[in-house]
Amino acid sequence: MALSRRTGRSRFTLFLLVLASITVLTLDFRESAPVSGLRSGADSVFSPVRSFADSISEPFANAWGGIAEYDDLTDENERLRRRIDVLEGRQIGDEVARRQNTELKRQLGIRLTTDIPTTAARVVSGPLTSFDATVQIDRGSGDGVKEGMAVVTDAGLAGRVVRVTGGRSQIQLITDPSFTLGIRLAEQGDVGIARGAGREGTLEVADGISGDTGVKRGDAVITSGLEGSAYPPDVPVGKVRSVGRTADRTEKTLVIDPAADLRGLSYVTVLLCDENCS
Amino acid sequence: MTALRVGIVVFVVIVVQASFVSRFPVLGARGDIVLLVAIAAGLEGNAQRGAVVGFAAGLVFDLLLTSPAGLSALTYCLVAYLVGSFHASVLRSTWWIPLAATVMASALGVMLFALFDQVLGEATVEAGRLPAIVAVVAVLNGLLSRPARWAMRWALADTSRSRDRMFLR
């Protein structure tokens, strides 16, 4: 009798907890204030302790990375050396074109990405679990970083700031499934919305690219920089990996490989522009 | 007092997860010792206590992640409840039963999380990577199951004693 009463009570508790979880999920999907407040409170509590603990674990984590990824690093090193040779050849031509482009934009009064103030940051912590797509950087509100700011590497867009504490910020990578941004095909000029594809480490464009557009594998994709966008225009996003069609075959779908190497992020740059960066 | 001790254990485990466990990926997968705390609570307390600790630990952990808040809480409370129910049904406990339960529950927890993640349209992990994540989480949690159970035994000590007293009466 007592046992069945206890079982009934524990089932009722489980029911309440499942209900509470679903309520929190719903509130979070609606971006409700209580959940945001709790997130920011948790960050404030854990951040100082994590900073201290990270400083202890960092040398060991670096050593582990060197051991666990030795073969990959050797292959990557070889590949990068070959790539540097190719890029150095192109650099001279690009430099001339860039100077002419800058000069023309100045004459036309177009705002340059290089005019946006930036702050360099070091990635101090990677994803917390295998299901997480965020990293932490060692710059926070004290350095002028605010939520929503774009984060780039030398190669291109890496993510955006989603949470900020005094000395640290959390960056959502562009491959996160809840990450969306306006993109433009550099050559064709078509504009669409790209979403992180999460599992594949890519981005996807589900619509917005006309069925007649002659987009192909390897085409460059940049930020659209439309008015009101949080991302400045012409920041490299990546290259087209594959092209498909929507179910009604009127538009094209794209899979994009990010330009920034998101697996080996060490240093990033935060663009200190949180509203209308276009 | 019990809540405070559970809170201390959860806090320490989340810091260890964030600053140590997550920084040592194996086969590209990271361990999840917050799930282990929930499982240990199910083993050392009972199904109800396990579910409550799992929910609380998962919810706090969710607040540090960008995945939907409540997802870990839901997964961990269900897993801890199942572990607690299973452990209560074992008539003669041997040393390997809690270990096997921890390994199995860890694997179940990862798969459940991936399923909920998929249902909510997040799909953070590709299916091909899931076996590696399941294996890493299960093995690591199996290795750490004893210290985790010691920690939860200490945290839930008052509860266990008062429950024993209730049965003795």
Segment B70-127, tens digit of pLDDT:
999 999 999 999 999 998 887 677 888 899 999 999 999 999 999 998 888 776 777 7
Average pLDDT rounded to a whole number, residues A88-98: 70
Digit-coded pLDDT (tens) for A35-53: 888 888 888 888 888 888 8
Q: Of A43, A202, A47, whose CA–CA distance to A124 is shortest?
A: A47
Q: What is the pTM of this model?
A: 0.79
Identify all chain A residues contacting B73, using CB atoms and an 8 Å cutoff.
17, 20-21, 24
Instruction: Give the integer Cα–Cα distance in Å for B127 and B105.
Output: 19
CB burial readout A131-146, b (16+ within 10 A) else e = bbbbbbbbbbeebebe
Collect all residues with Cβ–Cβ distance below 8 Å to B145 and sequence separation of at least 6: B36, B39, B40, B98, B99, B102, B103
What is the number of residues in chain A? 278
Q: How many CB atoms neighbour CB B161 within 10 A? A: 10
CB of A35 less than 8 A from some CB of B: yes
**Mean pLDDT, chain A, integer:** 83
Digit-coded pLDDT (tens) for B25-70: 888 889 999 999 999 999 998 899 999 999 999 999 999 988 889 9
Instruction: Give the integer Cα–Cα distance in Å for A210 and A191.
Output: 9
Instruction: For this complex, say whether ipTM is above 0.90.
Output: no
| Cβ atoms of residues A130 and B130 within 8 Å | no
Digit-coded pLDDT (tens) for A182-192: 898 888 888 88
Scan residues 41-100 of A and list those with Cβ closer than 8 Å to B: 41-43, 46, 49-50, 53-54, 56-58, 60-61, 64, 68
Contact A133 B126 (CB under 8 A): no
Whether residue A113 is predicted with pLDDT greater than 80 in this model: the reply is no
Average pLDDT rounded to a whole number, residues A222-239: 83
Instruction: Give the integer Cα–Cα distance in Å for B162 and B53.
Output: 18
Contact B124 A132 (CB under 8 A): yes
Is the model more confident about A74 or about A169?
A169
* Confidence class for position A32, pLDDT limits 50, 70, 90: confident
